[in-house]
Amino acid sequence: MGQKTNPIGFRLAVNKDWRSQWFANKRDFPKLVAEDFAIRQYLKKKLESASVSRILIERAANRCRVTIRTARPGVVIGRKGAEIDRIKEDLARMTGKEIYIHIDDNFKPEVEAQLIAESVALQLERRVSFRRAMKKAIQAARDCRDVKIEGIKIRCAGRLGGAELARVEHYHWGRVPLHTLRANIDYGFAEANTVYGRIGVKCWVCFGEGPAAANRGRTVPGATASVNGTKTNA
């Protein structure tokens, strides 16, 4: 049942890759997994307003490289690099390792599943109609000219509109084949904290099938910035 499992984990080693890339022995493995979790929790809280869609962690010897995929790189870097220097110092203190930070803004947020889910959740918290929020997000993804998608599905579950009974509503456009492993499907999840309780928002975006669709969702190369111990102005 493809709709019951995480589409990204389901496609690992097919057309998706792990978001923690390193090797460790049996003794160090649990500590590094907990460290990765702590890094992600810290960055998500610190960069809550920076539209961060994913965080990739790579390790080699006593060095750790963190790639932050964000739609607002200026918020991450800060004025004259002050914010990112502070983040580097905090992560170095947390891990005891040399930290390298790479900022990736080479994508379109309109078709990034995690950012779509977070956008719909934010609108629900602001009392926007759930139908209007979902339809608006789907239309924005369809209208994106730089990246063509084959389908999108958004699902909201909870006390929608303040109803007494929780229910599930979803809207979709195009095709989103969850059972097809060769299909490149992006997935995102977010929660809206409303006065009626939490509402879960899930989003699936299909970029097509086969090798040609593997790199869809990205724009022209070169729109990235690296911060390796020096200040960088993006």
Compute the distance between CA of residue 196 and CA of residue 143 in angstroms, rounded to an integer: 33
21 found inside a domain = yes
Structural domain count, the chain? 2
* Strands, E assignment, the chain: 20-21, 52-60, 63-70, 98-104, 151-158, 167-174, 183-194, 197-209, 224-227
Instruction: Identify the pLDDT of residue 209.
Output: 87
CATH number (domain holding residue 22):
3.30.300.20
CATH number (domain holding residue 133):
3.30.1140.32
234 found inside a domain = no
The verdict on 188 and 134 lying in the same domain is: yes
What global pTM score does this model have? 0.86
115 found inside a domain = yes
Instruction: Identify the pLDDT of residue 136.
Output: 95
Rounded alpha-carbon distances, angstroms, from residue 143 to 55, 108, 116, 136, 176: 27, 12, 14, 11, 17
233 found inside a domain = no
pLDDT (tens digit, 0 to 9) for every residue of the chain, 234 residues total? 556 789 999 999 888 999 999 999 999 999 999 999 999 999 999 999 899 999 999 999 889 999 999 999 999 999 988 999 999 999 999 999 999 999 998 889 999 999 999 999 999 999 999 999 999 999 999 999 888 899 999 999 999 999 999 999 999 999 999 999 999 999 999 999 999 999 999 999 999 987 656 666 555 444 445 555 444 444
Query: 64 lies in which domain range?
Result: 2-106+220-227
Within 13 Å and on the Cβ side, how many CA atoms surround 169?
16
The verdict on 129 and 83 lying in the same domain is: no
